[in-house]
């Protein structure tokens, strides 16, 4: 359990995503006060310019988008982050399916799916 003001970094399993085009982000869970946990998302290279400086924080040499979500418990915060990672897996699965359709010459099907 995180103490007040303490921060924990959650790192996705890189091996599980090694063959994917879209990689999941690292997240921070920060215990701000009793029953308030903030989630911060690491900004990837090139993303920094899209956000106002007031929405960015630095932690151990990396930049994070400040408070993308709040949770009432650490476990709830972990569950939210896991759902983000699961959605990245789903996006990668769709990406691979679309690529297979394109390579097999199903451009009409691909056009239909994208419309």
pLDDT in tens, 31-46: 998 889 999 999 998 9
Q: In this structure, what is the dihedral angle of CA atoms 92, 94, 99, 104, given to the nearest 10 degrees?
A: 140
pLDDT at residue 20, as a whole number? 80
Token pair belonging to 16: 């599980």
The two counts, helices (H) then strands (E), for the chain are 2, 5
Cα torsion angle, 51, 54, 55, 58, sign: positive
Do 76 and 37 contact (CB within 8 A), yes or no?
A: yes
What are the sequence ranges of the domains in the chain?
Answer: 7-114
What's the predicted TM-score (pTM) here? 0.77
Q: What is the DSSP letter of 53?
A: G
pLDDT digit string (tens) for 62-107? 999 999 999 999 999 999 999 999 888 888 887 777 666 656 665 5
């Amino acid at each position: 359990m995180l103490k007040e003001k303490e921060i924990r970094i959650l790192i996705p399993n890189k091996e599980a995503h090694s063959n994917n085009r879209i990689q999941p982000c690292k997240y921070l869970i920060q215990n701000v006060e009793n029953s308030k946990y903030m989630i911060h998302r690491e900004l990837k290279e090139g993303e920094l310019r899209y956000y106002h400086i007031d929405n960015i924080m630095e932690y151990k040499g990396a930049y994070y988008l400040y408070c993308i979500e709040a949770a009432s418990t650490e476990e709830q915060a972990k569950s939210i982050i896991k759902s983000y990672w699961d959605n990245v897996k789903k996006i990668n699965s769709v990406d691979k399916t679309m690529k297979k359709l394109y390579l097999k010459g199903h451009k009409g099907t691909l056009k239909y799916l994208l419309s």
